[in-house]
Amino acid sequence: MSVMTDSGRDRRRFTAAVLGPETALEPTPVGDRVVRGVVVGATTHMLCLATPRGEERFLYDRATVFWRGGEVRPDDLRDGDDAVVLCSQDGRLVAERVWAQAARATGVIVGREGETLEIDPGHGRPRTTVVLPYRTSGRIAVRHPRLEPGYVFDAVGVWREGAVWAARPATTQPPYPLSATPPRPPTPRHSTTLSGIATWYDPAWGRSSHLDPRARVDGVAYPALDPVGHDADCDRRTSCVPLPLLSAGATPNLRNDCTRDTAVLPVVDCAAADSWLCDLCPACGGQGAGRIASLTMTAFVALGGLLEDGCFNATMTVHNGEG
Amino acid sequence: MLPEIVEAFREVQLPLLAVLLLLGAASKTTGQAAGSGLAVLVPERLRRPATVGTGLLEVALAVGLLALTGLPGDAVRLLTAVVFAASVVVLVLARRRDPEAGCGCFGGLSRAPIGWRTLTRAGLLSAAALATPGLEPAGWQVALAPTALHGWVLGAELLLLAALSPELREVAARTLHREPCELREVPMRRTVRRLRRSDVWRTNENVMIKAEPDDVWRHGCWRFLRYDGMRHGRRVDVVYAVRIGGRRRTGVRAVLVDRGSGAVVASFGAVTGLELVGPPRRLPRPRQAARRDAERHDAARAAETLRAAREHPARMMPDHSRDADTGQPV
């Protein structure tokens, strides 16, 4: 899995030199309010996180929300939990929202054994084991009626013993297997501004987020990477949004249509599984169908998304330098 | 006259059915036919084998129609009629199972939902095949010795088939509407070919020190290639941008970027977006041009300039001696 590299910066510089500066904008630093790390102490008043900067402490507010597969009390957070903290507007002192052990499994089901599924997220990422606990299996089954190999699966949950314990569905499963997806109709015209939904993924797999530099990357995985110049095979299909082909290092401008937060984020990875789905986001009643980008966990939170919702309606702009 | 027409109609069916079967078989090899026609009715794992099997059967029937005569020929012709009749039943069942499914008759081209036109076409082809048993010549003999009557009958039948074929609309849509260049997947080979044929490449050929690009990336309609280069003893990055589609002459741009300072030292092939003042569309007529020149000519000023130049050959020419419009000496 790639992270933001010098190569991406160079590509941006050269693209700007040829096509003009508006085609390759400088990424906006978005992560001021978002901290990710490992819980080293959680009391009813304060949260201690081990982060790459060292130990950071956060106080709670009366409105602070804690999530660990569902809303929990602050003392339900455990030492060693991977936590994402969204600080309140004032600074990095008071936590507004805390997500612990948040995980997501997006991909195609390749095996099922009782209440355990095996999910293939595509493009060379390791397969994920998903457990459907009795408490949430009904909720999952409403939007995933066919939990059989070949069908698509997308759910948000928590990491537990190396597996994702699904907490809530993040898509409505298409009624056909992935291999029988009907072909998308051809697109007659292209526009530089596209509407759809943005989702999130965890580039560090919930492991040692205080040490792994991938855990802190603010970027997007893009469902329409050009196959040339991309080493790992990105088994993408024709997305249902007419996305322009880009490579790692490109910087689309993304806007959260629910909160109107805007950011320029670099493309750092392939999001093949997002090109397999053509779903709507019920979070704030948008109309745009189809996934346009999959943000890293921290970038998603920084742009105003809620991890448990799994998506927000987004508008993406990619200038092509041709007026 | 009527018996001849009937005979010609019967004979024409042999090559026509063979060609249609071969076209159907060829289009089924593209791999886009899964999930349509017969494949709707079989389980997931048997879909591909079912499509391949149908294609092979079609090839066998086509060869039989073209080559065989006598009793084996009649058997193949009857079998063709049975296959087309069976396909009507299969299509009706497939439509009942999945109303959105295409017929898959011509592979990925037959994506339109199965409708009355497709069903009628299959039924008519079955009837056409049923008319052929008992004919003397084989299909290839009819194809090699066509008469005018054959041509008329064939034309009329092709028109009828075209009216019953939803595939033609798909073919027209594919040829008329090309995918926008932002979405088009283009092999690297084609990009390199376009690059190497361009003036921009030939201009910079001496600068590059490696034949293969160090980095390749894509930005919408443009594919970028970065080469290692050396210019006036300094390392530079030669970055080409090759347009996907569009006009070939303006399709390649390049910049040379100094590796040390990161400054753009040269740029090639960019087309300005500004409106440039072009030359006049038409030259003035000679008499009109002479009159205009005579109006501009100021004899006194010319004489003064000449005298000044003779007296002081090294002196800078005074400003008023230049034409205000063109900047040229008068």
Cα A79–A161–A173 angle (5° rounding)? 115
pLDDT at B60 over 50: yes
Q: Inter-axis angle of helices B2-28 and B148-163, to 10 degrees?
A: 50
Which two tokens mark A132?
Answer: 């459907």
Both tokens of B277, joined, read 């003042």
Query: Does A323 touch chain B if contact means CB atoms closer than 8 Å?
Result: yes
Test the A interface: residue of B175, B212, B217 with most A CBs within 10 Å = B217
Instruction: Tell me whether residues A18 and B223 touch, CB distance under 8 A.
Output: no
- The reply to whether residue A247 touches residue B218, judged by beta carbons under 8 angstroms, is yes
Higher pLDDT, A187 or B121: B121
Q: Which residue has the higher pLDDT, B138 or B276?
A: B138
Contact B254 A18 (CB under 8 A): yes
DSSP string, B195-215: HHTSHHHHHHTTTBS-SS-SE
User: Chain B contact for A6, CB < 8 A?
Assistant: no
How close A180 gets to chain B, by Cα (Å)?
6
pLDDT band for position B172 (cuts 50, 70, 90): confident
Long-range contacts of the stretch B245-251 (C-beta < 8 A, 24+): B245/B178, B245/B181, B245/B184, B245/B221, B246/B181, B246/B221, B248/B194, B248/B197, B251/B194, B251/B198
Q: DSSP 3-state assignment of A227?
A: coil
pLDDT at A232: 61
Task: Please list, in sequence order, all residues whose beta carbon lies within 8 angstroms of the beta carbon of residue B158, skipping any fewer than 6 positions away.
Answer: B16
Give the integer Cα–Cα distance in Å for B287 and B290: 5
Q: What is the mean pLDDT of residues B27-48?
A: 73
Contact B218 A188 (CB under 8 A): no
Q: For residue B279, what pLDDT is reported?
A: 58
Between strands A128-131 and A116-120, the pairing is: antiparallel
3-state secondary structure of A137: helix
Q: Which residues of B touch A188 (CB under 8 A)?
A: 177, 180
On whether any CB of chain B is under 8 Å from the CB of A2, the answer is: no
Q: How far apart are CA A246 and CA A233, in angstroms?
A: 15
The structure tokens listed for A142 are 């409403």
Supply the pLDDT for residue A2: 42
The residues with which B252 forms a beta bridge, in sequence order, are: B242
Q: Residue range B48-72: average pLDDT?
A: 88
Q: How close is the nearest chain B Cα to the Cα of A215, in Å?
A: 25
Residues of B within 8 A of A178 (CB-CB) are none
Number of H helices, E strands in chain B: 11, 5
Top mean-pLDDT range of A99-113, B136-150, B255-269: A99-113
CB contact under 8 A, A247 and B217: yes
- Cβ–Cβ < 8 Å for A61, A85: no
Identify which has the larger pLDDT, B81 or B181. Answer: B81
**Which residues, 6+ apart, have CB-to-CB distance to A270 below 8 Å?**
A123, A221, A222, A223, A225, A230, A232, A234, A236
Q: How far apart are CA A99 and CA A66, in angstroms?
A: 6
* Closest to A254 in 3D by CA, of A210, A209, A223, A300: A300
Lowest mean pLDDT among A204-208, B32-36, B52-56, B136-140: B32-36
B174 touches chain A (CB under 8 A): yes
- Nearest CA of chain B to the CA of A19: how many Å? 9
Of B21, B19, B15, B5, nearest to B142 (Cα)? Answer: B15
Instruction: Specify the pLDDT at position B327.
Output: 46
The count of other CB atoms within 10 Å of the CB of residue B76 is 25
Which one of B174, B219, B262 has the shortest CB-CB distance to A15?
B219
Mean pLDDT computed over B85-114 = 83
pLDDT of residue B280: 59
What share of chain B has pLDDT > 70, as a percent?
88
Tell me: pLDDT of B82 over 90. yes
The two structure tokens encoding residue A269:
């990875």
Say if the Cβ atoms of B217 and A248 lie within 8 Å.
yes
Q: Does A15 touch chain B (CB under 8 A)?
A: yes
Nearest CA in chain B to A8: B217
Question: In this structure, which amino acid lies at residue A234?
Answer: C
A227 part of contact set with chain B, CB < 8 Å: yes
* Residue of B218, B227, B244, B247 to mutate, testing the A interface (most A Cβ within 10 Å of its Cβ): B218
Q: What pLDDT, on the 0 to 100 scale, is given for residue A194?
A: 87
| CA-based nearest distance B203→chain A, Å | 17
Q: Taking the CA atoms of B230, B231, B235 and B236 in sequence, report the sign of the dihedral they define.
A: negative
Compute the mean pLDDT over every residue in chain A, rounded to the nearest whole number.
84
User: Pick from B215, B221, B253: which is nearest to A11 by CB?
Assistant: B215
